[in-house]
Amino acid sequence: MQNALKTLTSGGFSIGVELPLDNDWVAASRPTHRAGIPDMSHHAELAQLVDRLGFRAMWIRDVPLFDPSFGDAGQIYEAFTYIGYLAAITRRILLGTAAIVLPLREPLLTLKSAATIQSLSSNRLLLGVASGDRPVEYPIFGRDFDSRGENFREQIALLRSDGLDYLPPGIEVLPYMDHRLPLLVAGRAQQQLSWLGEHMDGCLAYPGTPDDHRRRAAAWRAVAGSKPYISVVHLDLADNPYAPLTRHRFGVRAGCFTLIEELTEMKAAGVHHISLHFRRNHRPLAETLEELGKVVLPHFHSINSTEVI
């Protein structure tokens, strides 16, 4: 496969999905289910469906500990372990992390995990990284919350050098990588935007309207040039394909055709990739994905635009 970032942005704009593929935030969908913990019983078949339909990337969260007061367990499974599993059961879709909390991890093991996935997935990994935003986790892992920004910069330097600048002569982290590891930053990671533009390969921006993204993407381009600007939409897909678009926190409720209009505006605003998040979606997930694959994806890219592994 060509460089994963080039594949992600081929055609100027692409659509992916954010895991978990579940709609557990819809109260009526699972009244006895524990809040914040998704149902993963159909995760494998849904991931394979997303791959077959031609979504460009799937994005995995890094939530090492479940804090009920925060209310979100991500996709439950450990990020690198799970992305390795997904690499084995999918053929073409890119595999992104959104995002690995670097200060909570041992940096050489992060490098080893990323290099392993790159090798086993034929370079499909997009390594999104972050400084973290859940203070409760840091003392549990023996880390200092207030110094996470400095730690983030140090770990980026190690990842960029493949660990060679931090190891004794003759000692290496294997396997070797065919391509430079794509590093994408989630949020600002306690850094100046100019530093991120220089040292990162792209950004994972928080959800917003097309107008929000127009301003943010312009600020990103000012420091990063053409490096990808990526975001997410929390989608509730209406049964009526012409249903008008209504906004809610972090996303929209819309029919397929009004969603196409919204995504077209996102593209015009300077967004290179949007991942769709379904935990607020009222319709069955498989049905929703099939409709998006049939009606929405052909407006922006085709299944053939990502090379078959």
> What is the average per-residue pLDDT within 51-70?
96
Nearest to 17 by CA among 264, 206, 260, 292: 292
* Whether pLDDT at 304 is above 80: no
> What is the average per-residue pLDDT within 26-44?
82
Q: What single letter denotes the amino acid at residue 116?
A: T
pTM score, whole prediction: 0.95
pLDDT digits (tens, 9 = 90+) for 161-172: 999 999 999 999
pLDDT of amino acid 307: 43
pLDDT of amino acid 70: 87
pLDDT digits (tens, 9 = 90+) for 181-216: 999 999 999 999 999 999 999 999 999 999 999 999
pLDDT digits (tens, 9 = 90+) for 77-132: 999 999 999 999 999 999 999 999 999 999 999 999 999 999 999 999 999 999 99
Q: How far apart are CA 148 and CA 6, in angstroms?
A: 30
Dihedral pair phi/psi, residue 59, rounded to 5°? -115, 130
68 vs 129: which has the higher pLDDT: 129
Domains of the chain are 4-299 (3.20.20.30)
Read off the pLDDT band of 35 (50, 70, 90). confident
Q: How far is residue 26 CA from its own chain's centroid?
A: 22
pLDDT of amino acid 32: 63
Asked if 256 and 288 touch (Cβ cutoff 8 Å), the reply is no
Token pair 């080039």 is at which residue? 6
* Whether pLDDT at 31 is above 80: no
- C-alpha to C-alpha distances, 164 to 69, 105, 223, nearest whole angstrom: 41, 18, 28
Asked if 229 and 200 touch (Cβ cutoff 8 Å), the reply is no
- Token duo for residue 281: 């979606």
Read off the pLDDT band of 24 (50, 70, 90). very high
> What is the average per-residue pLDDT within 24-36?
75
Extract the runs of DSSP E, i.e. beta strands, from the chain.
14-18, 57-60, 94-101, 125-130, 183-186, 202-204, 229-237, 246-248, 251-254, 273-277
110 vs 178: which has the higher pLDDT: 110
Percentage of the chain modeled with pLDDT above 90: 90
